[in-house]
Amino acid sequence: MRVLFCSLPYFGHVLPLVPLANACVDAGHDVTFATGGPLLGRLPVRSVQAYPARTLDDAEAEVKRRHPELADIAPLEKWRFGLELFADVEYETLLAGVEPIVAEARPDIVVYEAYSVAAGAAALAHGVPAVSVGVSPWSSFFELLHRTVMERHDIEWPDAVLADLYLDTFTPSTWSYDASKLRRHEPMRPIAWSPGPSEVPAWLLAERERPRVYVTLGTVVFGYAAAFEASLSALDQHDVDVLVTVGPEGDPAALQHRSDRVRVERFVDQARVIPLVDAVVHHGGSGTALAAMAAGLPQVIMPQGADQFQNAELLATTGAARTFLPGMEHDVLAEHIVEALTDNEMKASAVKLAEEIAAMPSPADVAKEFLAVNH
């Protein structure tokens, strides 16, 4: 069976799909991945270009040009900017690249991450079954995004997402938004994948001398220097070893830190690093959140934009995470970090999430079911 994967070209959108793509190859399917950006040609499956050579900054600048009223919007209202980013600018850009690929390749199934709505629209236009993978929890934003695209482009489709099957990488116990309008809503265990090669810092492999904390704002950190400084100031108050990553395009030398217990890297393989630490302080990106969940680690979340506020709110309800919102006093962040390292109930909640993830169907299990989706 010919399976076409498609994603916007950003690490947090592409990487969650790779384990499923690999599983499809292992199941004997013919797999092609349509994307762009720095991961094009670096994936373990055949990849083709479906997105032009431009950056997320370029896309966001275009949103501001088309929608100047969204140029300076409050953090809690940034979902409005995100809606126009994915339903307008990125939809238009990706559709222009992926629609010809679908038309020419005639795949049996299109698999896409849920922000890449154009892939679902292209599949529907050509009568191809589609599978949408939720790299964030199913939410009102996803439904709004897909319905906005349907309304703006006169797409008739009865479900809340442009797909025959929606795969949710978050644990069923966290499914809180009404999913009754999804044709099929099934879980899939999140598996971390890194383009590598990336060495694990040697000090993490050495004997543990004190608690360890991993601090990251993801692969695209948007210059969130204030958030980094807030977390490091809070950690300075405690005897802990700290690993900080500033993103593939970040500059470790630009981050001011005060202790030799703080080590700064651009990029690490989270799948290998997270099991070596005791808590994770991060931005609320789904990839980091899921990796910490799978490892059974407490989390402190500092949301900055995109889906991060939603993820922070959801994870806080599980008891495994604490949230530090913009405008809060830094003392609150310090208290949250202490809880993440010492609170037994918080640790138990984190372990419970890890057990639930381990029980979810694997990408290999899901790949075996693709024939059922196709027929």
Give tens-digit pLDDT for 46-65: 999 999 999 988 999 999 99
Residues 112, 6: contact at Cβ < 8 Å?
yes
Residue 154: Cβ-neighbour burial (10 angstroms; 0-12, 13-18, 19+): exposed
| Mean pLDDT calculated for residue range 291-301 | 93
| Mean pLDDT calculated for residue range 146-150 | 97
User: What's the chain's length in residues?
Assistant: 375
| Mean pLDDT calculated for residue range 128-152 | 92
pLDDT more than 90, % of the chain: 54
Instruction: Quote the pLDDT of residue 226.
Output: 62
User: How far is it, in rounded angstroms, from Cα 129 to Cα 180?
Assistant: 20
* Contacts of 73 by beta carbon, 8 Å cutoff, 6+ apart: 80, 81
* Contacts of 231 by beta carbon, 8 Å cutoff, 6+ apart: 215, 281, 300, 302, 333, 337
Helix (H) or strand (E) holding 62: helix 56-66
Instruction: Quote the pLDDT of residue 222.
Output: 47
Instruction: Quote the pLDDT of residue 221.
Output: 47
| Mean pLDDT calculated for residue range 102-115 | 96
- Return the minimum-mean-pLDDT range out of 158-172, 203-217, 287-301: 203-217
Instruction: Look at residue 155 and tell me whether its pLDDT is greater than 80.
Output: yes
Instruction: Look at residue 146 and tell me whether its pLDDT is greater than 90.
Output: yes
Instruction: Quote the pLDDT of residue 139.
Output: 83
Instruction: Look at residue 195 and tell me whether its pLDDT is greater than 60.
Output: yes
Confidence bin at 306 (pLDDT 50/70/90): low
Instruction: Quote the pLDDT of residue 48.
Output: 97
Instruction: Quote the pLDDT of residue 355.
Output: 96
Residues 313, 339: contact at Cβ < 8 Å?
no
- Read off φ and ψ for residue 332, nearest 5 degrees: -65, -40
User: How far is it, in rounded angstroms, from Cα 154 to Cα 168?
Assistant: 27
Confidence bin at 253 (pLDDT 50/70/90): low
Nearest alpha carbon to residue 251 among 281, 284, 290, 223: 223
Instruction: Quote the pLDDT of residue 304.
Output: 73
| Mean pLDDT calculated for residue range 72-79 | 79
- Which pTM value belongs to this model? 0.87
Question: What is the CATH T-level fold of the domain 2-190+360-374, as seen in this structure?
Answer: Rossmann fold (3.40.50)
Residues 168, 188: contact at Cβ < 8 Å?
yes
Residues 324, 302: contact at Cβ < 8 Å?
yes
Domain with CATH 3.40.50.2000 in the chain: 2-190+360-374, 202-358
Instruction: Look at residue 223 and tell me whether its pLDDT is greater than 50.
Output: no
Q: Which residue has the tokens 């407490």?
A: 298
202-358 is a CATH 1.20.58.220 domain: no
- Return the minimum-mean-pLDDT range out of 9-13, 188-192, 267-271: 267-271
* Contacts of 329 by beta carbon, 8 Å cutoff, 6+ apart: none
| Mean pLDDT calculated for residue range 117-134 | 96
User: How far is it, in rounded angstroms, from Cα 151 to Cα 170?
Assistant: 28
